[in-house]
Amino acid sequence: MTTSRPQAMRTDPNIPDADGFYEALVAAHEGLSDEESNDLHARLVLLLANQVGDQKVLLACIAEARQDVAERPQR
Amino acid sequence: MSTETWKFAPPYELPQWPFVAPPDLGAGEPIRYPVVIAGGGLAGLTLACDLALRGVRAVVLDEDDTVGVKGASSRGICYAQKSLEIFERFGIYERIREKGITWSVGRTFSGDDELYAFNLKDDSHSEQPPFINLQQFYLEWFLVDRIVELGGTDLRWKSRVLQVEEEAEAVRVDVETPAGRYTLEADWFIDATGANSRIRSDLGLEVHPSRSTDRWCITDVRFKVPVAAERWTWVDAPFNEGRSVWQHLMADGVWRLDYQMAEDCEPDTISRPEVAGARLRQQFGPGVEFEFVWIGPYQYRDHLLENFRVGRMLFIGDSAHVVSPFGARGGNNGIQDAANLGWKLALVLQGEASESLIDSYQAERHAAAVENLTVCRRTARFLAPRSPAEHRIRRAVCTLARRHEFARRLANTGRMAQANAYPPSAWAKQGSRSVQNVAFEGTNLMRCLGRDNRFLGLAVGADAAALASLDALAALFPIDFRGVEPTSPLAAHLGVERGTVVVVRPDAYVAATLAQATPDAVAAAMRDALGVDERERLAAVA
């Protein structure tokens, strides 16, 4: 029996229909103000986080997303 | 402009105790005492009462002659189950229950909607409820009464500590009183003088304070509206300009309403009766009659002392650690510091344990303080978002929480105080957790732990022969044994089966859980728990 190790963040392609997902994501923002769009994104992040349900993966994803921001101190 | 006139309730009537000139005044040489406690607040009085029950006569030095804080209303209001269990052991729980407000339901609102409710009773197996609300000074009052009733403790009012100085085997304490100054010596000196301890700062001990920019205004009122005896919190109340509000009932029909204010507000302005009254009118409507008991603006802060033990000086309660008020983790942890330290000091003073046992106070209570700081800082950050992005994330949580359970878990208006579990250490190799005051076989755990300073060995399903062989240990270590039916609620709460011995410390924390326990295994656990080997111990007792 193999012991299950906590999964590292996946960066290999894992979205079955990538183009279809992208289309649905942008469609969800149609007609929204910046404010509404940003709120939608925040809700989406929380919903997706609950699907992942793995603290290590979640923290790795937060760090990865932050990496593309120009260096500045985090409070 | 409102033309309403604002009524204030008469102030609370609190007892006063007289200054009595101690024998130290005019004594040639300083008198030596086993334990001297500076500060008669929750932590100091709890320790004095605990020690009195364990046969140690402490001296308590308090600069005031009453309970509570002069010119202010109650600080703490919520007393958690672990604290209530300690007070049950002290014999003051019934008085607290009669005076206070028992509650277990909390509700969190966002805008006009309830996001979620919790009932802390669901996880409770104790004889004591999850929480009782009571003004802090009543609790201090009951503690003083009990300490006086037990006798032995030297409560010294109007006695201010001027200076402490560590010597080789004692601490010298200079005290100022209305009748002059004197010096005494303590085997152990306890600083329980609170957040602004001058004793601590005079010693140059750094606590790395951090002050929040978040501002609040407490408004304690008495009024006649049907409000539930529950803890209600608003993340963003429509009647408080979208900021947080707390609502909680205390004794004497006094409601504590705590309003989050704008960061740039003027404390003097927001606490004026007409301003505070207008806030209340926003919440409860124009027709509600009420009178103010107290209005107090505040900013919370936190701090943490690195070492709760410095030689023969120990720091308990707010002197050692301060957290933001969310979750009732301040006063309750001062009480638990005291209960953690009491039995250890007593056993060391009575020669039953190694002096190194005192270091376990640091190991356990510092770890608890770190955990509480983390928990409270997270709540504080949820309640006071620092940027538009944080507001957005919180808004997303509140929106989703209306429909989805997972998001309710992200809404954080305070994680209520629990008895912190302690990490594995030399004294408890498996770590240590609190045992609730479960009723079993016609008694309960607090009654079994009683007044003596002894451990309790719960032998699950043990027959007479097994108990007899365990009982032999009672002559070697401060422990008594008791058989527990495998089917009893206590065995279920502990999650143990026949053949297990659970070694419970005098503070109702588990020292060790030993499956298929032999007397040798129990003896080894006791040596660990006392930080002593048997030869050392017998030599000390001899």
User: What are the distances in angstroms from CA B14 to CA B11, B68, B137, B191?
Assistant: 9, 8, 8, 24
Cβ–Cβ under 8 Å, residues B346 and B51: yes
Instruction: Give B210's DSSP letter.
Output: E
A1–chain B nearest CA distance, Å: 27
Minimal Cα–Cα distance from A73 to chain B, Å?
A: 15
Q: What is the pLDDT of residue B5?
A: 85
Which residues on chain B place their C-beta less than 8 Å from a C-beta of chain A?
386, 392-393, 395-397, 399-400, 404, 406-407, 410
Q: How many CB pairs below 8 A link A and B?
A: 24
Q: Assign residue B270 a region: left if phi > 0, alpha if psi is -120 to 50, beta otherwise?
A: alpha
Which of B24-28, B148-152, B286-290 shows the highest mean pLDDT? B148-152
Q: A45: which chain B residues are within 8 Å (Cβ-Cβ)? A: 396
Q: CA B260, CA B262: separation in Å to the nearest integer?
A: 7
pLDDT at B339 over 60: yes
Tell whether the model's pLDDT for residue B212 goes beyond 90. no
The per-residue pLDDT for A3 is: 43
The two beta strands, B131-133 and B101-103, are: antiparallel
Alpha helices in B169-209 (DSSP H): 198-202
State how far the Cα of B79 lies from the Cα of B72, in Å rounded to an integer: 19
Closest-CA distance, A43 to chain B, in angstroms, reads: 5
Q: What pLDDT score does B287 carry?
A: 85
Helices B464-471 & B519-530 angle (0-180, nearest 10): 40
B contacts of A38 (beta carbons < 8 Å): 392
Q: Is the pLDDT of residue B453 over 50?
A: yes
The shortest C-alpha distance from A26 to chain B (Å) reads 19
pLDDT score at A5:
46
* B155's tokens: 């409560």
| Whether residue B319 has pLDDT greater than 80 | yes
What are the pLDDT digits (tens) for B493-511?
A: 999 999 999 999 999 999 9
Return the H-helix or E-strand segment holding B221.
strand B210-223
A75: contact with B, CB 8 A cutoff: yes
Which value, to the nearest 10 degrees, does the dihedral of the CA atoms of residues B491, B494, B497, B500 take?
-110
All residues of chain B having their beta carbon less than 8 Å from the beta carbon of residue A75 are: 386
β-partners of residue B66 are B16
Interface test with A, best of B394, B395, B398 (most A CBs within 10 A): B395
Cβ contacts of residue A4 below 8 Å, gap of 6+?
none
Lowest-confidence segment of B183-187, B253-257, B360-364 by average pLDDT: B253-257
> E strand or H helix at B295, and its extent?
strand B290-304
The Cα–Cα gap between A43 and A50 comes to 11
Q: Do B400 and A75 touch (CB under 8 A)?
A: no
* pLDDT value of position B68: 84
Contact A45 B406 (CB under 8 A): no
Mean pLDDT, to the nearest integer, of B456-460?
96
Predicted local distance difference test score (pLDDT) of residue A7: 57
pLDDT reported for residue B71:
59
* Amino acid at site B151: G
Q: Output the CA angle B115-B119-B120, nearest 5 degrees.
A: 125
B304 pLDDT higher than 90: yes
- In the predicted model, residues of chain A with pLDDT beneath 50 are 1-6
Q: Does A46 touch chain B (CB under 8 A)?
A: yes
In the three-class reduction of DSSP (H, G, I as helix; E, B as strand; rest coil), residue B33 is classed as strand
What are the pLDDT digits (tens) for B224-264? 777 778 999 999 999 999 999 999 999 999 999 999 999 99
Residues contacting residue B144 through CB under 8 Å, at least 6 positions apart: B15, B17, B40, B45, B67, B155
Q: Do B396 and A75 touch (CB under 8 A)?
A: no
Region B15-35: what's the mean pLDDT? 94
Q: Is pLDDT of B535 > 60? A: no
pLDDT of residue B74: 72
CB contact under 8 A, A39 and B399: yes
Taking contacts as CB-CB distances below 8 angstroms, the residues of chain A near B400 are 43, 46-47
Report d(CA B538, CA B535) in Å as an integer: 5
User: Please, are residues B526 and B477 in contact by the beta-carbon 8 Å criterion?
Assistant: yes
Overall average pLDDT of the B515-527 stretch? 95
The pLDDT > 70 percentage for chain B reads: 96
- Flag whether residue A72 sits within 8 Å of chain B, measured between CB atoms: no
Q: Does A66 touch chain B (CB under 8 A)?
A: no
pLDDT greater at residue B33 or residue B211:
B33
Calpha distance B301→A29 (Å, rounded)? 41
**pLDDT above 60 (res B30):** yes
Residue B138's pLDDT is what?
95
- The answer to whether residue A38 neighbours chain B at the CB level (below 8 Å) is yes
> Taking 60 as the threshold, does the pLDDT of residue B540 lie above it?
no
| Average pLDDT for chain B | 93
Please state the rounded mean pLDDT for residues B525-535.
83
Q: At what angle do helices B42-53 and B136-150 cross, to 10 degrees?
A: 30
**pLDDT above 90: percentage of residues in chain B:** 87
The tens digit of pLDDT for each residue in B369-403 reads: 999 999 999 999 999 999 999 999 999 999 999 99
Task: Give B34-78 pLDDT, tens digit per residue.
Answer: 999 999 999 999 999 999 999 999 999 999 999 987 656 778 899
Residue type at A47 in one-letter notation: L
The pLDDT confidence band at residue B537, using thresholds 50, 70 and 90, is low
Q: CB neighbours of A5 closer than 8 A, spacing ≥ 6? A: none
pLDDT of residue B533: 66
